[in-house]
Copies of this chain bind each other. A is one copy, B any other.
């Protein structure tokens, strides 16, 4: 059970370990055709499989890229991950995905684990709660790219969407359509994406000369969302439009409306911030803000690859526009 080593191959082929290693690394320059064949045969008959741990230990690189997603069941995360994977595939770097589950402790554990395992670089959807750790990575010059969320006071490559701007436009659109009572539903304001979206909302209202009504802003975790929606819709002046700050908020909203017998488009105009796989099937008049997930993934991968190759530029924040549909 798995114990054929290079030494065994060398013995079988009647050559030295070094020569076998040369062969494996395709350095055929100074190697006779005969030796090559002998090694080939030996590998075959023994069923030799190289041990990458040993190789990586010596070479100080693993040809592995780590992705730490905030939540693996988010469609956006998986789309980004796939794009990253496709990019690195062409350079024979492999990708592993870990799921931090929006839990800073888990995130920390995974970062430490992946670094201890010597992955060549890291792409992170940061929880934003491990600043010390982030800083130490960056100071040590370890290749890292942040995706989706910005972390304040950190000089690091980041790839994000223009959250404020696209929310602004969506709200503006509501206003143009005559809406005056526009609500905003969001999960706790712990990450930059949520905060920026809220900013866009407020700015759009202000710029249109509308008052920001705190009762129309509901900030709650998903399990508590329905209760908050209940409160929102028992106000004297009910909102006629609502901005759902991401897909999970949207689901909670959908369940709520269904219970109340209300309909999207008819009883409430809704915009959702996110890519939703089945959106085109919903027979309603919803709008969605679509982030260019694939492009963002590819860009993040490129930025990481540059760092790994030590083609150093100064860290920059790449902002992608999103599309309202």
Q: Residues of A at under 8 Å CB distance from B?
A: 1-2, 47, 49-54, 56-57, 62, 64, 72-73, 75, 78-79, 81-82, 85, 89, 94-99, 101, 106, 109-110, 112-113, 115-118, 136, 140-142, 251, 254-255, 258, 263, 276-284
Q: How far is the CB of A320 from chain B (nearest CB, A)?
A: 19
Contact A141 B280, beta carbon cutoff 8 Å: no
Contact A53 B118, CB 8 Å, known A1-B141, A79-B73: yes
Q: Which 9 A-B pairs have the closest CB atoms?
A: A96-B96, A254-B281, A52-B116, A97-B97, A53-B57, A73-B78, A278-B278, A1-B141, A72-B78
Pick from B49, B64, B277: contact of A277, CB below 8 A: B277
Contact A85 B73, CB 8 Å, known A251-B281, A255-B280, A283-B283: no
Name the B residues within 8 Å of A110 (CB-CB). Answer: 94
Name the B residues within 8 Å of A78 (CB-CB). Answer: 72-73, 78
A-B contact pairs, 30 of them (CB 8 A): A1-B142, A2-B140, A47-B136, A49-B115, A51-B57, A51-B118, A52-B116, A52-B118, A53-B53, A53-B117, A54-B57, A64-B117, A72-B78, A72-B82, A89-B106, A95-B98, A96-B96, A96-B97, A97-B98, A251-B278, A254-B278, A254-B281, A258-B283, A277-B277, A277-B278, A278-B279, A281-B282, A282-B282, A282-B283, A283-B283
